[in-house]
Amino acid sequence: MELAIDRCAILQPTGCVVRPQQEGYLFYNARTDELHLVPEAGFLIYQLCDGLRTVDEIEQWLAQASSEPRPATSEALGRFLDALVARGIVEALDEPH
């Protein structure tokens, strides 16, 4: 992410609808009229994107919830959030709300 990733907060914008599917979650972005299939782990991360938690706080939660070392968690989280931001599913904020 181009912003200082550890200090950014991530927010779910209005206009996204999420529906559970057999193999993950289907995200519909009304602003772009696009559908995206997101795995269950991705949906759990999406739920943490409330505009209050910073990326660093989400990363800490993931590192505690998994047995992966923090650098591996950080890299994977950064790639995933970059993809969600690019698709308009979440927005990166300079500061938490």
Q: Where are the domains of the chain?
A: 40-93
- Phi and psi at residue 53, in whole multiples of 5°? -85, 140
Three-class secondary structure of residue 65 per DSSP = helix
User: According to the model, what pLDDT value does residue 65 have?
Assistant: 85
Q: Which amino acid, residue 53?
A: R
Is 29 within 8 Å of 16 (Cβ atoms)? yes
Match 């991530």 to its residue by tokens: 10
Q: Above pLDDT 70, what percent of the chain?
A: 91
Question: Predicted confidence band at 34 (pLDDT cuts at 50, 70, 90)?
Answer: very high
User: According to the model, what pLDDT value does residue 90 have?
Assistant: 95
Distance CA 82, CA 90 (A): 9
Distance CA 27, CA 43 (A): 9
